[in-house]
Amino acid sequence: MSLILRRARPSDAQAIAEQLADPEIYPGLLQVPYANVELWQQRLNTAPVAGSPELFLLAEREGRIVGSAGLHPAGTQLRRRHAMMLGISVLAETQGQGVGGALMTALLDYADNWAQVLRIELTVFNDNARAIRLYERHGFEREGLHKAYALRNGQYVDVLAMARLHPRQPLV
């Protein structure tokens, strides 16, 4: 079963919303139950800002979306233009099958070789050992712990702040 990585299209809104609404997925993300299809349609129908390095990829296997990942600007400030936030999700039944690794490899290649990204940041629930191992395998380092960062299933939960710097940092 081959894996296809591609940019998200407006016609993918329903599949993305279903993936993010999966009760085995959203508690591990900063998402809430009942993902909004219309919101995803709006997001995917909005043309990207000219020159934006933002990228949103989908992993597809046998015509089914099994994972998604994106790089999003860390902010609009001029002095943070070099930094992007990373988000990723993989269907529970396809975790451990290389989907997350393929998405990470593609995003990091894009960031390092095409998008002039120096720093990639993310947060991950500190009890998500599988995700933390994936990030560390791809060069992310732990930078700190945010206590009671997000509400998950009625409990405030800590997250790790992690980041990865470009492996060949440009001389400025």
Strand (E) or helix (H) holding 67: strand 64-73
CATH code for the part of the protein at 3-121:
3.40.630.30
Name the phi and psi angles at 132, rounded to 5: -60, -40
Written as six digits, the tokens of 126 are 């500190």
Alpha helices in the chain (DSSP H): 13-20, 37-45, 99-113, 129-137
- The whole-model pTM stands at 0.91
Q: Give the pLDDT of the chain (172 residues) as one tens digit per residue.
A: 799 999 999 999 999 998 888 888 888 888 877 888 888 888 888 877 777 889 999 999 999 999 999 999 998 888 998 999 999 999 999 999 999 999 999 999 999 999 999 999 999 999 999 999 999 999 999 999 999 999 999 999 999 999 999 999 876 6
Q: What is the pLDDT of residue 26?
A: 84
**Which residues, including other chains, have CB under 8 Å from residue 69's CB and lie 6 or more apart?**
56, 57, 59, 86, 87, 88, 89, 100, 103, 104, 106, 107
Q: What is the pLDDT of residue 172?
A: 63
The residue among 43, 38, 36, 41 whose CA lies nearest residue 11 is 41
